[in-house]
Structure formats: C-alpha cells, structure tokens
Amino acid sequence: MITIYGIKNCDTCRKALKWLAAEHVEHRFHDFRADGLDSGTLSTWIKALGWEQLLNRRGTTWRNLPAEDKDAVDEAAAAKLMESNPTLIKRPVIDLGDAFVVGFKNPEQEAIRAQAEAGQ
C-alpha cells in the first residue's frame, strides 16, 4: 500500500489524495502534525533521496528560521531542523514500498501509477 506523508492543509497533499481516490489507488495518509514523524523514517528518506531534495527552502517555515540556521545547513543540521519542524519537509513524501518520491507532478504520478499497476 502506498503511504502519503504530509500535512492535511497542504494544497499539494490534498491534490495528491484527491487524485489517488479518483485513480482508485489504495493508500493511507500520514499527517506529520497529527501523527508525528520519527527520526528513523526521516533518516531513511535522507538516505534514499538526499537531504537537499527533502528540505523545503521555499516555505514560510524556512523563511522564518534565523539566518544562522539557514547559513549553516548541512545534512546533520537539515535532519535536526526537519525533525523539529516537519513543515520544512517538501510535500508530499510518497512511500511506494520499494522507493520514495517527493512532490506530486507528472513524474511522481507516473511512478504511483506504475506501482499501483504492479501491485494489482
């Protein structure tokens, strides 16, 4: 089963969930805020995707960080920041079972579609 990680008020997460329902793809939603996010899951994502791909530098949370936090960001600092502020993670993170994708544009939709077809 595909797991979508994000927050319920994220427009992209809502778009992904709506698309999954319309495509009849079995999935579950994990809300960072309501359900939390453990460091093991975040560490797995960082190993699979790289911290640069996960860190959302375009959002309000990033813009509100102190300059010294933004200037000194490396893998360890990014992991710590994302763990304490899950909204710094680009959304949605989609667990396809054997791979992860971040975001919800055409390539991610195709990966989900391929995974769903393989699982049927």
Does the structure show a pLDDT above 90 at 92?
yes
Does the structure show a pLDDT above 90 at 116?
no
Q: Which two tokens stand for residue 57?
A: 């530098």
Neighbours of 112 (CB within 10 A): 22
pLDDT at 120: 55
Active site positions, annotated:
10
For residue 64, the SS3 value is coil
Task: State pLDDT tens for residues 33-71.
Answer: 899 999 999 999 999 999 999 999 999 999 999 999 999
Task: Give residue limits of the domains in the chain.
Answer: 2-119
At the top level of CATH, which class does the domain 2-119 belong to?
A: alpha beta
End-to-end Cα distance, the chain? 11
Do residues 8 and 86 touch, judged by C-beta distance below 8 A?
A: no
From CA 35, how far away is CA 55, in angstroms rounded?
20
